[in-house]
Amino acid sequence: MEGGMGGGGGQQELSADNVRGIVLALLSSGFIGSSFIIKKKGLHRAAVSSGISAGVGGHSYLLEPLWWVGMITMIVGEIANFVAYAFAPAVLVTPLGALSIIVSAVLAHFILNERLHALGVLGCVMCIAGSMVIVIHAPLEQEITSVKEIWHMATQPSFLLYVASVIVLVSVLVFHFSPLWGQSNVLIYTAICSLMGSLSVMSVKALGTSLKLTFEGTNQLAYPETWFFMLVVAICVLTQMNYLNKALDTFNTAVVSPIYYVMFTSLTILASIIMFKDWSGQSLGSITSEICGLIVVLSGTILLHVTKDYERIPQSRIGLYAPLSPTSATRLNGELLRHVEEDARRTDDEEKVLRRQEMY
């Protein structure tokens, strides 16, 4: 590995590849977070000019230049994120994706006049603090010279067991639980997306590393393993798109987003630890710090989404919901809960379209 894996209790310095991965992940978050605001402005402009919003089936935004600026910005961000996985471990790159939420929240505060309240600010601070802890204690990226090495990692018994478990769980969720409870339980669709997402990230990292080696002069496209990883990426991403669409069309975006992010991030890190042995050679203190940093990032992300969800409730109804204690809230009857959900969904049409585009 580049620079070696730091054993013992001493803190290890960031490798050059880790620094590149961090910079690319931060750039990705900046581009993706900004794209959300640009596309939302484009959607608003298109809706005003055509009289039909995207949330009710309008497609006039395709003729709006500002929306395309946002889309191109998002694509640049996704490319940067893809390349980041070729340089740094998934346990480092994936949690940094939460910073895109901070960028969009801060820009929305100044550009879209969507107020960022105290809980939102706290969520931003938690995401930044947790990300810094993860960066400081992140494992070094392994030095890989061939896609054959990645294939060896992907076919080790422990990771094959993880892959088999994912396939079994996804099959059970798709063919048994989804028809029965998919429309009433948000965990069904988000679990399918997250499980398949963890495999797609491992394949993206394998594919990205292969392309990096190819550009450096060691052709990896001649190996069938490279094309196999590309096929896995396509299958996993298409499955994610399908069930993420179902989740966003069925449930409120503010419910889907934090659950999906927490599950996806946790499963991706677990898969990376199993396949790439990210924690091998790290001290117990570094591993504990990374786990604590991840928990802080996940908690901050949830706070940000909870704040945004509260903002979408019309002011005329805040007096109805705000004073409720947790005990009182659990006693709300089903009719009122459905009314709240429908109310939030009506104000969430455009953001649902944006989230669907952004979360792929």
String of DSSP letters for 265-332? HHHHHHHHHHHH-TTTT--HHHHHHHHHHHHHHHHHHHHHHHHHHHHHS-HHHHHHHTT--HHHHTT-
Name the percent of the chain lying above pLDDT 70. Answer: 79
pLDDT at 308 over 80: no
What is the rounded distance in angstroms from the CA atom of residue 239 to the CA atom of residue 129?
A: 33
pTM of the predicted model as reported, rounded to 2 decimal places: 0.76
Q: What is the pLDDT of residues 147-187, one digit of tens each?
A: 999 999 999 999 999 999 999 999 999 999 999 999 999 99
pLDDT at 198 over 90: yes
Name the band, by pLDDT with cuts 50, 70 and 90, for residue 140: confident
**Cα within 13 Å of Cα(348), Cβ side:** 25
Residue with more model confidence, 22 or 353: 22
For the segment 29-38, the average pLDDT, to the nearest whole number, is: 91
Q: Where do the domains of the chain lie?
A: 15-114, 140-280
Whole-number pLDDT of residue 344: 47
Whole-number pLDDT of residue 314: 42
pLDDT at 324 over 60: no
| 334-352 burial code (b ≥16 CB/10 A, e <16) | eeeeeebeeebbeebbbbb
pLDDT at 72 over 60: yes
Whole-number pLDDT of residue 42: 86
For the segment 4-24, the average pLDDT, to the nearest whole number, is: 70
Name the band, by pLDDT with cuts 50, 70 and 90, for residue 347: very low
pLDDT at 98 over 90: no
Contacts of 355 (CB under 8 A, 6+ apart): 248, 253, 256, 257
